[in-house]
Amino acid sequence: MTILARDVHAHMRSVGTWVDWEDTCDGFKAGEPDREVTAIAVGWQSTMAALRQAEELGCELFITHEPTFYSHMDDDPAWLATQAARDKAEWLRERGMVVYRCHDVWDRYPERGVLDAWAAFLGLDDAVECDTYHSVHPVPSTTARELAHRLSWQLEPLGEQDVHIIGEKWRMVSRLGIGTGAITNVRELVRLGADCLLVTNDGINTWREGCWARDMGIPMIVVDHRVAEMPGVRELAAYLGEQFGLPTHCVGSTCSYEILASSRNRDVSVRMRRDSLDNLPQAVLPPGYTLRPMADDERWAKCRC
């Protein structure tokens, strides 16, 4: 069965019933919709490096989540006039590669889309509150600093070398609010009951959302926009492979930057270790607390040493 690039577009239109197809960034950005497709590349963004990787893999169609020509709708004359944009457009024309953007569909796609894939990658329990682009998840009560550390370990495989924390890092938190990439609204997360916010660098300004969160006394953890959406991008690649039965490759980097740090934590925390609980002095616990070995399913309580 011959598959054309426009068949992918038709499929996305059929499943993306929530998208206003007269006013969306989704659609073809380069190439001919009637191009036959034998392999698909999927990337968070159609950078030149990712496009070249797709070419090496023999992909005629590149599905990108973010813009190709540096503006949301890929139609800003000032950006299109830049040398980088002209060179990219010429490179695509010479090779006949088709670029298609899938953003508004996949941001809201249930279970496998950006928000739900992010929550699943982080291993979060089911949301206690949610709306279209946000969800709040219970986490075992811990300090914001410890939660940030645990999240950083989980994100390391995606190339995230650190996470940033804004506000009171020693505050105890138990309801983590997450959102969809750069459109996360911190006020909406707080309205939904989050007491700690996980946001992306492209979605906040430190002078606005950062200052507001500090004044609200709500810690904010900041990660790379690309990292937060990569689980969803990988799900998109798997989904397209299932739907069209073609070789489908996830290409491009998984983190947008590299950290060259001049120093580490300014605070020095003390961690105590004992090989057993034998010969401990009698513990006086507050009402409702018990002292017992950690259960196997209490993953948040595990310490990476």
Using DSSP, state whether 264 is helix, strand or coil: coil
pLDDT digits (tens, 9 = 90+) for 206-231: 999 999 999 999 999 999 999 999 99
| Structural domain includes residue 281 | no
Using the 3D structure, point to which of 108, 126, 161 is the last residue of a domain.
108
| Structural domain includes residue 260 | no
122-140 b/e with 16+ CB inside 10 Å = b? bebeebeebeebbbbbebe
pLDDT digits (tens, 9 = 90+) for 54-70: 999 999 999 999 999 99
Alpha helices in 98-254 (DSSP H): 104-108, 114-121, 144-155, 186-191, 211-216, 225-244
CATH of the domain at 44: 3.40.1390.30
Q: Are residues 137 and 94 in the same domain?
A: no
Single pTM value for the model: 0.87
| Structural domain includes residue 61 | yes
Using the 3D structure, point to which of 228, 255, 276 is the last residue of a domain.
228
Using the 3D structure, point to which of 198, 228, 258 is the last residue of a domain.
228
Highest mean pLDDT among 134-143, 258-267, 290-299: 134-143
Q: With 90 as the cut, is the pLDDT of residue 281 above it?
A: no
Distances in whole angstroms, Cα of residue 49 to Cα of each of 5, 53, 55, 68, 155: 22, 6, 10, 12, 22
Q: With 80 as the cut, is the pLDDT of residue 109 above it?
A: yes
CA angle at 128 for the pair 124 and 131, rounded to the nearest 5°: 100
Which residue range is the domain that position 160 belongs to? Answer: 114-228
pLDDT digits (tens, 9 = 90+) for 159-187: 999 999 999 999 999 999 999 999 999 99
- Spatial neighbors of 141 by CB under 8 A, at least 6 apart, are 172, 173, 174
**Which tokens in the block code for residue 170?**
């020693």
The answer to whether 223 and 162 have CB atoms below 8 angstroms apart is no
Q: Are residues 139 and 221 in the same domain?
A: yes
As for how many domains the chain has, the answer is 2
| Structural domain includes residue 248 | no
